[in-house]
Amino acid sequence: MSLAEVSLWAVIKKQYIFKIKSYSNLYVSMVAVQLIAFLFTAGGMAGTSGIGYNNIYIEVKMCSGTGVFIFTVLWIMANSFILTLPLCRNIDFSFVTNRISSNMANIGFMATAAIAGGITTALATILLRNVFYYTTESKFLFAANFWVEPGELLTGAGVAIMYLLLFSAAGYLAGALMQLHRSLYVILPALLLGMFFYESANEHIRIFKALDFFFLEKSPLLFTFKIAVAVLLLWVCAMGLSNRTEVR
């Protein structure tokens, strides 16, 4: 038994810094994931359309930074899930710790990852535009949607950070849920995949349409509020669940 009193915040801070340093490989994986998305996107992942008129055929290869964003979402969900695995959880016990400090440090780490992911996603879309600019003859590249005003770039980064926070919290909750019983490792992904297939087979049923609650929100304030409430709920649920897992 230790007689030294350590404040909760001091422990959280120590754990957070430790996670930032020891999980730097996760940021390298982010770079790799974004570069892969970049290559796919540069190849015209957003689609190609063609139209013809008499003897003229026009093909337009579409491009968008959305692919980089989607790959970053997958990256942060996977990493948030990894944080709940026993291997990562047990590292926390090298410190004087409890579930709250461990979870709070994880939340801090996920928030940092979301900020890094959001900013790099926004900047990667600019890099993509530069690549297109220098590899395409200017008379074959449309100006519309190409130029990004600084305000638009900041909005893009901000929105990306909010979504990454949301999906990281969802990944963290899913991870915490799976720690309750091993069978959930199979059941949860199966449920998710099943919903995808079910939805695609039944056009009138739109389970994932629920995400429009966030996607279609046009007011910045309401959007921030919705995301903040959802993220808090997901984190509280994940923390509640993690308290039910066995102690080491």
User: Is 139 a residue that touches other proteins (CB under 8 A)?
Assistant: yes
- Please, which residues have CB within 8 angstroms of residue 103's CB and are 6 or more apart in sequence? 235, 238, 239, 242
Q: Shortest distance, CB of residue 200 to other proteins, whole angstroms?
A: 20
- Position 215, amino acid: F
Region of 78-86, 140-148, 169-177, 179-187 interacting with other proteins (CB under 8 A): 140-148
**From candidates 7, 201, 219, 248, binder to other proteins by CB under 8 A:** 219
Contact segment (CB under 8 A) with other proteins among 107-115, 143-151, 172-180, 236-244 equals 143-151
Please tell me the distance from the alpha carbon of residue 243 to that of residue 234, in angstroms, as a whole number.
14
* Residue range at the interface with other proteins (CB under 8 A); choices 5-13, 145-153, 172-180, 237-245: 145-153
Q: Which of 3-11, 120-128, 173-181, 232-240 is the region at the interface with other proteins (rule: CB under 8 A)?
A: 120-128
Q: Quick check: 153 and 122 in contact, CB under 8 A?
A: yes
Interaction between residue 46 and other proteins (CB under 8 A): yes
From candidates 13, 14, 18, 64, binder to other proteins by CB under 8 A: 64
**Is residue 76 near other proteins by the rule CB under 8 A?**
no
Q: Phi, psi at residue 89, to the nearest 5°?
A: -65, -40
Among 17, 85, 86, 152, interactor with other proteins by CB under 8 A: 152
Q: Using the rule CB under 8 A, is 167 a contact of other proteins?
A: no
Q: CA-CA distance, 45 to 87, in Å (whole number)?
A: 36
Whether 170 and 232 have beta carbons less than 8 Å apart is answered as no
CB nearer to other proteins: give 2 or 25.
25
Q: Figure out which of the listed residues 6, 17, 96, 126 binds other proteins, where binding follows CB under 8 A.
A: 126
Q: How far apart are CA 177 and CA 131, in angstroms?
A: 42
The piece of 85-93, 118-126, 194-202, 234-242 that touches other proteins (CB under 8 A) is 118-126
What angle do helix axes 220-242 and 99-135 make, rounded to 10 degrees?
140
Three-state SS for 133?
Answer: helix
CA distance 245 to 248: 9
Q: How far apart are CA 123 and CA 34, in angstroms?
A: 11
Binding to other proteins by residue 231, rule CB under 8 A?
A: no
Determine whether 21 is exposed, middle or buried from the number of CB atoms within 10 Å of its CB (0-12, 13-18, 19+). exposed
Contacts to other proteins by CB under 8 A? 24-25, 27-28, 31, 34, 46, 49, 51, 53-66, 69, 120-127, 129-130, 132-133, 136, 138-148, 150, 152-153, 155-157, 159-160, 163, 215, 217-220, 223
